[in-house]
Chains A and B, each alone.
Chain A
Amino acid sequence: MVPRVPALRAAARRSRAAIPSPRARGEGEPPDPMPAEAAREVEALEAQAQRLMGTFMRAGYEQIAPAIIQPAGLFLDVVGEELRARTYVFTDPDGEELCLRPDLTVPTCRLHLERHPHGNVRARYCYSGPAFRYQAAGGDRTHPREFRQAGIESFAAADPDQDDAAVLALTIQALREAGLDDFQIRIGDLGLFGALLKAVPMPARWRRQLRHHFWRPEAFRAELARLTSKAALEARNVPPELVELPEGSPPEEAQLRLEAYLERSGLELVGTRTLAEIAERLLSEAADARETPLGPDIAALIESYAAAEAPAREAAARLEALIRPHRLDLAAALGAFKRRLALLEDAGVDMGAATFAAEFGRDLEYYTGFVFEIVSPRLGPASPIAGGGRYDELMADVGAPTPVPAVGSCIHTERLLAALERERP
């Protein structure tokens, strides 16, 4: 049972860095405050989960219960090392590496794929169940290491923008029906960023790089600086025989030249990475050196786009103003953004107080388009109550033969309960 003392509230409210610094703790100290498991709390969580699931099921989402124990390999390949560091991994008596699911989205994708090996079949699921994440500081009430997620995932909708709006609207409806009145909506759109990159003339691999680094502001700025500098793009370390290779030569020719170079240098290739992969990167480097670097005005545009923040309703106009001097065509992506907002308002979601941030994204890397977060002023931005977004590449990563449009959302139910208790003390 967690006593409701001011110190605990202060601890829960404190803002946390991405990697919380652990408190110094000795062996003999009592265990950390964990989510209260007293009967009253369990009852409250269960009643709340039932209300949430009721809302989801009435909207036509099918209730599922994906496995809690998941294969570690596939799961962790998909989510990346950041979440892996917080995933409980173990080996079963057969030597198989397994994990306790750190979220329910990937298990839901696996379940969908089991039912429909092609993946591209319309389906809407809802779930409520435990997830597990290591907390460096041992965990507290709003960052417990064992928590319950209630969420929805929607696959293969014909109209993705409409589906984005429907998922956020239903999430908000569920929160309202659970009793939450006071909250803020934050949105972002990775599709807009992709469209901006596409509209700027540059090699496809530069786009890939910038998109990849978008989640990490520092690496992103470094990459942008590299692409604007002729000197930084010079292929200093590429063997001359590869630099001299005429453009459009067959890839085998590059591999032969690389092989000869490695042999002459006494370098033996060990491991899984092939000559073809190394040659491809060296050729890209050589090609980068021949490219015209990005103009400083374009780099500035990309940077100011990444820094753009505005009330949601004004965001499109701000971005339009930003790109107007550059004569870039983002009409389709901006149109989708505006339409999504209109659909949300039609669904009864008040976007008046919602904020847009271009750089806003969840720290899970698999989002590809619209992203959102619901924050309670009582818990603060470090403890969002719900979040979600579009992840059009995840199903293929999990094993679907083709990409499957998908969007989902989940509610951190312990936080929802904590916010409700603070709303009505």
Chain B
Amino acid sequence: MSDRLVLALPSKGRLMEQCSDMLARAGLVVGKSGSARGYKGEIAGLPLVEVNFVSASEIAQFLKTGAVHVGITGEDLLREAMADCDERVTFLRPCGFGHADVVVAVPAAWIDVRRMADLEEMAIGFRRVHGRRVRVATKYMNLTRRFFAQKGVTGYRIVESLGATEGAPAAHLAELIVDITTTGATLRANGLKVLDDGVILESQANLVSSKLAAWSPALREAERELLARLAAA
């Protein structure tokens, strides 16, 4: 572990742009450094901070194990990566972007299924007719298991989906899905609706620190300064 505060930022896409905009508004200019092919950087005026550019889901993993001190990533990815999220990380500050709800969505024509409780009842009949459990396509396996268990829904089976999850019901790969949505337009276009009590998490990008990273008083001070600069923006 370095003696600097390691800040992990998303390495690509819209999330990366929004992060650098947010930092720029706080007067924090991230400069790429070294020969690490653009995956490392520094912030002018904060010599104790070292920036690592990694994918948003890796940031969640690194925060989980303490491989980085601070990072910006989606709450959905953090809560998916660890059941004991609040024991491992501290949410320092919501970023105000990267909004996405993790939801349970079923075919809109299932007018008999409106709530999670209906889903459990429907699952009993489905198994009787089809001889197998109703399938839920998702990349959020852990969030799905926890939420379904909390709602008393058990008669299902998860199939892992690594992309275009909203198409799984039409493709007969699953009967329903758990996925992220922002406006609901994609779900509607695929003939799906969100259950009345089917919002698992209202997620957005967050500045998060890891409780398991190697902290020193100097690094805590650097964390405070970073946070203060962002708060003042």
Residues of A within 8 A of B (CB): 19, 21-22, 24-27, 76-77, 80-82, 84-85, 136, 208-209, 212-213, 215-216, 218-219, 222, 237-239, 261-262, 267-273, 277-278, 280-282, 285, 365
In the complex the two chains form, is B111's CB within 8 Å of A270's CB? Answer: no
Cα A76 to Cα B65 with chains together (Å): 30
Task: Determine the residue in chain A with the shortest Cβ distance to B114.
Answer: A237
For residue B191, CB closer than 8 A to chain A, the reply is yes
Residues of B within 8 A of A280 (CB): 125
In the complex with contacts A22-B83, A26-B65, A219-B152, A278-B191 CB distance below 8 A = no
Decide if B162 is an interface residue (CB 8 Å cutoff): no
A278 close to B152 (CB less than 8 A):
no
The verdict on A81 contacting B158 (CB below 8 Å), with A21-B84, A24-B212, A26-B66 known, is: yes
Contact of B175 with A by CB under 8 A? yes
Check if B140 is an interface residue, CB within 8 A of chain A.
no
Q: Is the CB of B130 within 8 A of A272?
A: yes
Q: Which of B109-166 contact A (CB under 8 A)?
A: 109-114, 117, 120-122, 124-126, 129-130, 132-133, 145, 148-149, 152, 154-158
Residues of A with C-beta under 8 A to B132: 77
A27/B112 contact (C-beta < 8 A), A277-B125, A281-B121 known:
no
Using a CB–CB distance below 8 Å, which chain B residues touch chain A? 65-67, 83-84, 87-88, 107-114, 117, 120-122, 124-126, 129-130, 132-133, 145, 148-149, 152, 154-158, 169-170, 172, 175, 190-192, 211-212
Q: In this complex, what residue of B is CB-closest to A220?
A: B152
Complex CA gap A278/B149 in Å reads 24
* Given A81-B158, A209-B124, A268 and B87 contact (CB-CB distance below 8 Å): no
Max chain B C-beta neighbours (<10 A), residue from A19, A219, A270: A270
Contact, CB under 8 Å: A222 / B109: no
Contact B157 A76 (CB under 8 A): yes
Cβ contacts under 8 Å, A76 to chain B: 157
Check A209–B121 contact: CB distance below 8 A: yes
Does A277 lie within 8 Å of B126, measured CB to CB? yes
CB of B117 within 8 A of CB of A281, answer no
- Chain B contacts for A22, CB-based, 8 A: 83-84
Point out the residues of chain B lying under 8 angstroms from A218, CB to CB.
152
Q: Which residues of A contact B66 (CB under 8 A)?
A: 26-27
Q: Once the chains bind, are B111 and A239 in contact (CB under 8 Å)?
A: yes
Q: Which residues of A contact B158 (CB under 8 A)?
A: 81, 84
Q: Please determine whether B107 and A21 come into contact, CB atoms closer than 8 angstroms.
A: no
A27 touching B67 by the CB < 8 A rule?
yes
Instruction: Verify B148–A81 contact, CB threshold 8 A.
Output: yes
Instruction: Give 29 pairs: A residue, B residue, CB < 8 Å, sorted on A.
Output: A19-B83, A21-B83, A22-B84, A24-B212, A26-B65, A77-B132, A81-B154, A84-B157, A208-B124, A212-B120, A212-B124, A212-B155, A213-B152, A218-B152, A237-B111, A237-B112, A267-B109, A268-B108, A269-B191, A270-B191, A272-B169, A273-B107, A277-B129, A278-B109, A278-B111, A281-B112, A281-B122, A281-B125, A365-B154
* Interchain nearest-CB distance for A18 vs B (Å): 9
Q: Which residues of B contact A268 (CB under 8 A)?
A: 108-109, 191
Asked if B122 contacts A271 (CB within 8 A), the reply is: no
Complex Cα spacing A78 to B96, Å: 44
Report whether A81 and B157 are in contact in the complex, using a CB–CB cutoff of 8 Å: yes
* A272 near B172: Cβ-Cβ < 8 Å: yes
In the complex, what distance in Å separates the CA atom of A136 from the CA atom of B84?
Answer: 10
Asked if B65 and A27 make an inter-chain contact with CB atoms under 8 angstroms apart, the answer reads yes
Residues of A contacting B154 in the complex (Cβ-Cβ under 8 angstroms): 80-82, 215-216, 365
User: A269 and B130 in contact (CB under 8 A), knowing A209-B124, A216-B152?
Assistant: no
CB-CB under 8 A from A209, the residues of chain B are 121, 124
B112 touches A278 (CB 8 A): yes
What's the least CB distance linking A158 to chain B, in Å? 28
CB-CB under 8 A from B84, the residues of chain A are 21-22, 24
Q: Write out the residue numbers on chain A whose beta carbons fall within 8 Å of the beta carbon of B83.
A: 19, 21-22, 136
Which of A26, A81, A238, A278 has most chain B Cβ within 10 Å?
Answer: A81
Could you tell me the distance in whole angstroms from the C-beta of B109 to the nearest C-beta in chain A? 4
The smallest beta-carbon distance between A72 and chain B, in angstroms, is: 10
> Closest residue to B193 on the A side, CB-wise?
A267
Q: Once the chains are docked, how many angstroms separate the CA of A323 from the CA of B192?
A: 47
Given A19-B149, A239-B111, A281-B112, 15 more A-B residue pairs with CB atoms under 8 Å apart are A24-B88, A26-B65, A27-B65, A82-B154, A84-B158, A208-B124, A212-B124, A216-B152, A222-B152, A238-B112, A267-B109, A270-B169, A271-B170, A273-B175, A365-B154
Minimum distance in angstroms from B178 CB to a CB of chain A: 12
